[in-house]
């Protein structure tokens, strides 16, 4: 299939941030200090400009998997350290978790809405990873489920893993039920759905959420499909009718 990169105005505000997944970082970890953590506003990272991805049809989604790895020089921009953000509505499993600023704003609004609905106790366990960090996770994984470096959504800064305080199985918690029902309203999808393992290449992960923007998230979650299937739909739709008929 080759590298499936699709960029448009919906994701234009990401300023180089994109997607990455797969590790063993799912559902445990003790919470670091939460909303009371000291902060001086978002800490931005300045670094090498992200390599310009190959443009596809106007869709605004970056697909990352074993068939569509990130360029080796890829680096997301506008990362913020979650520990430094005031008044967030979730806790952290560790103090050094980072994510793209746009994604943080969406996820914090999402967890604030959950809090308003009486659903609390979320703990974010993982966000952005460097390629070296993903290499270490891949090398240490014994079950073969960790993504190779360059094939992880976590390397884009657009994905996060989450669990709930005191839970051993996130799938069985009220927190998962709320996220599954409402994540699309804030631009997120459950990236590795149950029953679509053959499509995504990974087992079901109730804890892993990917930012794609509200319109795309609503389409994906409503249809109950994987990101791979959605991107393929968009590619087919972008092919001129005369080409399809030849």
Using pLDDT thresholds of 50, 70 and 90, give the confidence band for residue 238: confident
d(CA 211, CA 70): 17
pLDDT at 18: 41
The per-residue pLDDT for range 13-55, each reduced to its tens digit, is: 334 454 333 444 444 433 433 333 333 333 333 333 334 343 2
| Structural domain total, the chain | 1
- Quick check: 157 pLDDT over 80? yes
Share the mean pLDDT of the chain: 80
Q: What's the pLDDT at 64?
A: 95
With cut-offs at 50, 70 and 90, classify the pLDDT of residue 76.
very high
Q: Inform me whether the pLDDT recorded for 200 exceeds 90.
A: yes
Q: Check the CA dihedral 174-230-11-97 and report its sign.
A: positive
pLDDT of residue 49: 37
pLDDT band of residue 86 (cuts 50, 70, 90) is confident
At residue 28, the pLDDT reads 41
pLDDT in tens, 205-219: 999 999 999 999 999
Any idea what the CATH number is for the domain that residue 189 is in? 3.30.1380.10
Q: What is the pTM of this model?
A: 0.77
Parent domain of 230: 5-244
Mean pLDDT along residues 49-70: 65
Q: Is the pLDDT of residue 199 over 70?
A: yes
């Amino acid at each position: 299939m080759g590298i499936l990169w699709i960029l448009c105005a919906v994701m234009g505000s990401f300023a180089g941030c994109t997607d990455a997944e797969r590790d063993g970082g799912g559902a445990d970890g003790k919470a670091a200090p939460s909303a009371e953590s000291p902060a001086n506003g978002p800490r931005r990272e300045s670094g090498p400009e992200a390599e310009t991805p190959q443009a596809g049809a106007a869709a605004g989604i970056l697909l990352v998997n074993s068939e569509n790895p990130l360029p080796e020089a890829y680096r997301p921009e506008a990362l913020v350290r979650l520990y430094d953000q005031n008044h967030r509505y979730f806790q952290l499993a560790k103090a050094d978790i980072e994510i793209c600023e746009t994604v943080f704003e969406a996820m914090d609004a999402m967890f604030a809405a959950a809090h308003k609905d009486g659903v609390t106790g979320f703990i974010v366990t993982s966000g952005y990873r460097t390629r070296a960090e993903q290499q270490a996770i891949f090398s240490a994984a014994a079950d073969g489920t960790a993504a190779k470096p360059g094939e992880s959504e976590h390397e884009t800064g657009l994905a996060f893993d989450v669990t709930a305080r005191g839970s051993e199985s996130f799938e069985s918690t009220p927190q998962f039920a709320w996220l599954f029902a409402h994540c699309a309203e804030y631009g997120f999808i459950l990236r590795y759905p149950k029953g679509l393992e053959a499509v995504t290449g990974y087992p079901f992960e109730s804890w892993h959420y990917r930012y794609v923007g509200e319109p795309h998230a609503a389409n994906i979650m409503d249809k109950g499909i994987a990101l791979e299937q959605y991107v393929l739909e968009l590619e087919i739709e972008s092919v001129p009718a005369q080409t399809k008929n030849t």
